[in-house]
Structures are given as structure tokens and as C-alpha cells.
Amino acid sequence: MISARKIQGRKTVAVLPVHYPRELFTAMDIRTVELWGPPGPPRGPDAGRIQTYACAIVRNALAFLASGGADAVDAVLFPHTCDSIQGLATLAPDFGGWEKPALRYLHPKGEDRPAARAFVRAELVHLADRLAELTGSPLEIPRLAAAIGLHAKIDRLRGALLSRRAFLGMGDPALYRLLRRGEFLGPEDHLAELADAARGLGEERMQRGIPLMVTGYVPEPMTLFDSLEAAGAFIAADDYAAVGRRVPAAPPAVGGDPLDTLAAKAFAMPPCPTRGGDQDARMEYLASLYRHSGAAGLIVHVQKFCEPELFDFPAIRRRFARIGAPLLYLEGELENSLSGQVITRLEAFVEMVDAGRMSP
């Protein structure tokens, strides 16, 4: 896939999780391929360079990069997501594992405030300069405006597919494969596929199973959705960092300086612990998402050792206990498939939620 892009003459950048300004890459005609691990056992011995109490995302990524898995790309972008990815962003380029350009995107932590907005804007300019070194062409502002428009369309469609999930005649395994293709497809191709799927959104309820909400980092292994579907459930609301948290809750107004628009978008996203906003605001958002989706239970699906997610779990548990929502906690390490034990827990959870709905 990466090689195919190169034949088209485009530069390609591998991107680690999670938040980054995709519009900037589109505007500069650079394709991005996201690197969530990849899942499964580490590909190569370099995973041993990071202690086993760090998350599998960074250990697998180091092993993958060092074993040549991403040699076809022209650079790697390390967003400023968490301490572990930050550590990887100096370990791999500085001590071996990645020889080509290493880009960093330092997004701010905490609330929306003037200092943070100014910082995002400066970071965007800095990143654009680094990308210009990679491509040999500077950023053209009109092209950025066009890219913002293109990605706004993608966001709208992704948002519609997620928020009107019950009215889409497509199972979760197929829907999540489609949504996650945005991690590596060109934006125009992804938009076409989303538009095609969105034509299936009707006024009539198509999903008849048990509606559940999911929150977590990344939906791996993807067989999770097969198991839920087999158990008679579907995902009515999504708060995965990799999926739902990347669809702006209230998109910023387009027009004016595109760099300002892009900076504003960073603060228009749903609350994500990796951005470190207010915890109450996040709980309010999750409760509202749950209520509006009509979900009957919550699955908290986190990566082991993922501090941003783990710190919020007690608050989620408290909040959803108050609502009276059944909750299932799943912790994983980027496995290729779910264990029989986990499948049994999922089935039992769905049965329990179903029984709860039936009871008076």
C-alpha cells in the first residue's frame, strides 16, 4: 500500500497515535499511514528495548520501525500523546530504530486558553516547515483551506455514521473496518467510501440487537466486534480515542485564516484524556453520549499501562453507576484475537444487559 503511494510520487508519513493535524498533510500532498502498534506479537527483537510495563503500542511500534516495517515511508510523526510515545519519539530516532526524518507534533495539554491556541498555531507552522523540507514545497494557504473543507466533509460523514448507528444496515465489523480505513486511505478515497456507506442511513431503525456504548483507546483486536455481534449486541455510541474522539463535537466555523481554524479544531474535539482537559467535562460528555444513543450498557476497553485512560476509569465507573448503567471493564495488550475467557465475559455481559432491559 505504501509502495503504491510512492509510485504515485507522493511522500508518505507514518503517524503514531493519536491526535494530529491531518489537514496539513493533505494540503501538502503527503499521505499518512497510522501506526497503532501494530497489533500482535512484536515484529522483531527491539521491543525488548522498552520495559514490559510500558504499553504494547510503543513496544510494538519500536520493534516494527526497527525491523524495517516502515522503511517505505519517508518520515515518522510522533504526536505528543503520552509519556510513552514521547519517550519513543526520542528513543527511536536518537538511539536507533528510525533513521529517516522524525517529526514531532506537540499538542497542548489542559483547557482551551489563549496561550494554548497561540501555541497550537505556532506548532502547525513549525510542522508545516518540516513537511516543506520533506516535500521541497512550502505550504500554500489556499490548499490548506481546501484540505480543511475536505476533512470537514469526512468528519461530518463519520459523525453521522456513528451518531445514527442504529439506522445503518451495516454490522459493526464492517463499519469499524470502514472507519479505520481512514487511518491509511487517501482522504478523497475515504470520503467516497464513507459517502457510499452513508447512503445506507435511513429513517427506519435497522439495528435490532442490544445497544452498547464503548470507550477506550483503540479497537484492537477487531474481532471484538464479531464477538459482540454474535452475542446479539451492537455499538450504538463510540468513544474510542482512535475513532469517535477524532470527530469534532462542534466543528469550528470555516473561513478566515485556515491556520486559526485548524488551531480551533484542536479544542473542538470530544474530551480525550490524552489532551488532559477537565475530568468533569469528560464525564458529562460521556453521560450525554450514552443517553442520546440509547445505549443499555458501557464497555470500557483500555490498553494495559495506558495512564491517560486508566486514570479516568474510576470517574467513569462512579458516573455510570449513578446512571445505573451496566459496565464491563476490558483490558488488553494489542492481541490478534480475543481469548475464550474474554469472549465469555462479553457474552455474559450482553446477556446481563438484555436481562436488565427485560425486567420491569
Partner 1 sequence: MIVRRVRYEIVSRAIGPILVSTERWRRRLRDRKGGRAKAPFGPPLESTRKLKELTTLHYLTGRFADGAVPVAWVTSGFPVEVLRTLGFHTVYPENHGAICSVKRMVPVLSGAVEREGYSRDLCGYARADLGSVATGNTPVGRLPKPDLLCCCTNICQTVLYWYRALAVHFRVPLVVIDTPFVYGEARPHLLAYIADQLRELAEIAERVAGRKVDRATLAGTMRLAREGTSLWDECLRAGRARPSPWTGFDSFFHLAPIVAMRGTRECNAYYRMLRDELNDRVARGVGGIADERVRLLWDNLPIWFHLRDLSTVLARNGFNVVCATYTNAWAEAGAMLDPADPEGSSARAYLHVLLNRDLPHKLSVMKRLCREYGAAGAIFHSDRSCKPYSIGQIDLMGRLAAEEGVRGLLLEADHADPRAWSEAQAYNRLHAFMELFR
Question: Which chain residues interact with partner 1 by CB under 8 A?
Answer: 48-51, 53-54, 58, 80, 82-84, 86-91, 94-96, 104, 106, 108-111, 113-116, 118-119, 122-123, 126, 273, 276, 278-280, 304-305, 307-308, 310-315, 317-318, 329
Using the minimum distance from each CB to partner 1, give the nearer residue, 194 or 334: 334
Listed in sequence order, the residues at least 6 apart from 31 whose beta carbon sits closer than 8 Å to its beta carbon are: 5, 10, 11, 12, 13, 25, 186
Using the minimum distance from each CB to partner 1, give the nearer residue, 43 or 317: 317
User: How far is Cα of residue 145 from the mean position of the Cα atoms in its chain?
Assistant: 23
Q: Work out whether strand 210-216 and strand 298-303 pair parallel, antiparallel, or are unpaired.
A: parallel
Distance, in Å, from the CA atom of 209 to the CA atom of 187, rounded to the nearest integer, reads: 32
Using the minimum distance from each CB to partner 1, give the nearer residue, 69 or 276: 276
C-alpha cell of residue 86: 514521547
Distance, in Å, from the CA atom of 337 to the CA atom of 181, rounded to the nearest integer, reads: 19
Using the minimum distance from each CB to partner 1, give the nearer residue, 210 or 214: 214
Using the minimum distance from each CB to partner 1, give the nearer residue, 107 or 165: 107
Give the CA radius of gyration of the chain.
Answer: 20
C-alpha cell of residue 140: 500554500
Using the minimum distance from each CB to partner 1, give the nearer residue, 231 or 300: 300
Say how many residues make up the chain.
360
Asked if 62 contacts 88 with a C-beta cutoff of 8 angstroms, the reply is yes
Q: Which residues of 35-48 are buried (b: 16+ CB within 10 A; e: fewer)?
A: bbbbbeebbbebbe
Q: How far apart are CB 272 and partner 1 at their closest, in Å?
A: 12
Q: How many CB atoms lie within 10 A of CB 13?
A: 23
Q: How far apart are CB 334 and partner 1 at their closest, in Å?
A: 15
Using the minimum distance from each CB to partner 1, give the nearer residue, 31 or 104: 104
Q: How far apart are CB 71 and partner 1 at their closest, in Å?
A: 21
Listed in sequence order, the residues at least 6 apart from 275 whose beta carbon sits closer than 8 Å to its beta carbon are: 19, 107, 108, 109, 110, 269
The widest CA-to-CA distance across the chain, in whole angstroms, is 67
Q: How far apart are CB 20 and partner 1 at their closest, in Å?
A: 14
Asked if 221 contacts 197 with a C-beta cutoff of 8 angstroms, the reply is no
Q: What angle do CA 243, 246, 251 make, to 5 degrees?
A: 140
Q: How far apart are CB 129 and partner 1 at their closest, in Å?
A: 11
In the chain, how many H helices and how many E strands?
13, 8
Q: How far apart are CB 133 and partner 1 at their closest, in Å?
A: 15
Asked if 124 contacts 147 with a C-beta cutoff of 8 angstroms, the reply is no
Using the minimum distance from each CB to partner 1, give the nearer residue, 179 or 269: 269
Q: How far apart are CB 300 and partner 1 at their closest, in Å?
A: 9
Q: How far apart are CB 117 and partner 1 at their closest, in Å?
A: 10
Q: How far apart are CB 50 and partner 1 at their closest, in Å?
A: 6
Using the minimum distance from each CB to partner 1, give the nearer residue, 158 or 282: 282
